[in-house]
Amino acid sequence: MKERIDFGKCPLCDSLEFEKFKVGDCSGHFSYDETLSKNIIWNICRNCRHVFTEGYYTDEAIKIVFRKTQGLQKLGFEFEKNRYVSARMIEKVIPYASGGHWLDVGFGNGSLLFTAQEYGFKPYGLDLRQDNVAQLSSWGVRADCSDISKLKMDEEFSVISMMDVLEHMPYPRVGLSEAYRLLKAGGVLFLSMPNRESWAWEFLDHKNMNPYWGEMEHYQNFGRARLYELLNEFGFSPVRYGVSERYRVCMEVVAVKK
């Protein structure tokens, strides 16, 4: 089985100048299966310093990676604890958007959308897990099992959240340009992902305990600086930096469509 399709260039800047940076071991990962390689090769771009995997999984391999759903991705997982976390996230957005349609890409356990609904937003969820979509719909929330690029609702959203999503995408630029298309002028793009430019990340590397080098579902390791450059390139002004409470060593960034 062909496991990965090589990028062959930097997925953020298209530079052909990159070199091997690190090899991660994913044999302890929740989704690991012995039919897949236990090594993940990470490259660094010599032009923009972005760090990315050698390639992304083929359709055949991704079926193996996605065959199990982690508990925390299931609708309603720890819903009361997560409601508090989601509320603190939404309060970071409120100064820039206080109502309207909220699109959450990769809604997972649904907490952010249900909480946004409490705050007066009109929720809409996308997720690649059919089970989650069926369940969210059964609670009366609009949901589709679809890719963001298939949505035909230009300039309708006040907020688009992509929490822990861009690092899963082979080509994050596609996600950003689609978010730009779907957002109203002045609308909010709300993002989170691990920040490799944090002392916490360096400390985990130093202790050889950084889980992200063995994270099978990630293709990118962003740092704050490169993310901010990319946001500007795609027509967004980052307006607020924060630390995410959802996953380890993550940043949470509010950006506004210029």
Of the candidates 231, 223, 160, 157, the one whose C-alpha atom is nearest the C-alpha of residue 196 is: 223
Q: Which stretch binds Zn ion (CB under 5 A): 50-58, 59-67, 121-129, 217-225?
A: 50-58
- Which of residues 46 and 206 has its CB atom nearest to Zn ion in the complex? 46
Kindly tell me which residue out of 4, 10, 179, 180 binds Zn ion, with binding defined by CB under 5 A: 10
- Segment lying near Zn ion (by CB under 5 A), choices 13-21, 104-112, 225-233, 240-248: 13-21
Shortest Cβ 232–Zn ion spacing (Å): 15
Q: Among positive and negative, which fits the CA dihedral 151, 164, 98, 135?
A: positive
CA–CA dist 166, 168 (Å, integer): 5
**Cβ of residue 226: shortest distance to Zn ion, in angstroms?**
8
Among 47, 73, 117, 135, the residue binding Zn ion under the rule CB under 5 A is 47
Closest contact distance (angstroms) between CB of 48 and Zn ion is 3
Angle at 201 between CA 211 and CA 205, to 5 degrees: 65
Number of residues that bind Zn ion (CB under 5 A): 8
Asked if residue 226 binds Zn ion (CB under 5 A), the reply is: no
Using DSSP's 3-state secondary structure scheme, residue 63 falls into helix
- State which residue, 51 or 97, has the beta carbon closest to Zn ion: 51
Yes or no: say if 51 and 81 are a contact pair by the CB < 8 Å rule.
no
Q: How many CB atoms lie within 10 A of CB 206?
A: 10
In sequence order, which residues have a C-beta less than 8 Å from that of residue 9 and are 6 or more positions away? 15, 16, 18
| Shorter beta-carbon distance to Zn ion: residue 45 or 191 | 45
